[in-house]
C-alpha cells in the first residue's frame, strides 16, 4: 500500500551518487520535493523517464521544487549513470538496508528486490500532495506530475 495523499511523508536520509547524505526533512519550509522511485539505473524505461526529467528540468525543478530520484542501486552505479546521462538532480541510493525507504513508501517489490515506479510530490510542510505507483514495465505519464506541481505551486 503506497503512502496516501494528505499524510505526512516518512522522513529518510540516503546517500546520493557522491555518497553525501540527503535528508528529506532538510527541504521542509524551503522546497517542495518530487520524489521519483525507479527500479534500476541503466534500464530502458527508467532511463527514458529520467531523461525526460533531465530534458524538461525546468518543468520539474526550480527555486520552489527539488527532484530526488531513488533506487536500490549502489551510489557507484548511480554516479556512473548520472555522468553518462547528464542528470543534474540527486540520485539517492536505497541500497542498504535494501529498499528500506521504498518499503516505507509502499513501493518496494519484495519478490524482485527493487522499487516500483512510485512518484510522490511532498509539499514544503512534508505532506504528500500527489502519489502514484506503476507496475514493473509500466512507464509513467509525467503530465500528471506537471499537473500536480502546478496545483501545489498555485
- What domains can be seen in the chain, in order of their start residue? 13-153 (3.40.30.10)
Interval 118-130: pLDDT, tens? 999 999 999 999 9
For residues 84-111, give the mean pLDDT: 97
Alpha carbon distance 76, 150 (integer Å): 34
For residues 7-19, give the mean pLDDT: 98
For residues 92-104, give the mean pLDDT: 97
Q: Supply the DSSP symbol for 25.
A: G
Residue 46 bears catalytic tag: yes
Q: How many residues does the chain have?
A: 154
CB under 8 Å to 21, separation ≥6 — which residues?
13, 14, 15
Nine cell digits for residue 70: 531513488
Alpha carbon distance 31, 25 (integer Å): 10
Interval 36-64: pLDDT, tens? 999 999 998 999 999 999 999 999 999 99
104 CB-contact burial (10 Å; exposed 0-12 / middle 13-18 / buried 19+): middle
Active-site position among 3, 41, 46, 148: 46
Nearest to residue 86, comparing CAs of 47, 43, 58?
47
Amino acid at each position: 500500500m503506497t503512502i496516501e495523499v494528505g499524510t505526512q511523508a516518512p522522513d529518510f536520509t540516503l546517500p546520493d551518487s557522491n555518497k553525501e547524505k540527503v535528508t528529506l526533512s532538510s527541504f521542509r519550509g524551503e522546497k517542495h520535493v518530487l520524489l521519483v522511485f525507479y527500479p534500476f539505473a541503466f534500464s530502458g524505461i527508467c532511463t527514458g523517464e529520467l531523461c525526460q526529467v533531465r530534458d524538461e528540468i525546468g518543468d520539474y525543478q526550480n527555486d520552489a521544487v527539488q527532484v530526488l530520484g531513488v533506487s536500490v542501486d549502489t551510489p557507484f552505479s548511480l554516479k556512473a549513470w548520472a555522468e553518462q546521462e547528464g542528470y543534474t538532480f540527486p540520485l539517492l541510493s536505497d541500497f542498504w538496508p535494501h529498499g528500506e525507504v521504498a518499503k516505507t513508501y509502499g513501493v518496494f517489490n519484495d519478490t524482485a528486490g527493487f522499487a516500483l515506479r512510485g512518484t510522490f510530490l511532498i509539499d514544503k510542510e512534508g505532506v504528500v500532495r500527489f502519489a502514484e505507483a506503476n507496475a514493473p514495465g509500466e512507464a509513467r505519464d509525467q503530465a500528471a506530475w506537471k499537473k500536480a506541481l502546478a496545483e501545489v505551486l498555485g
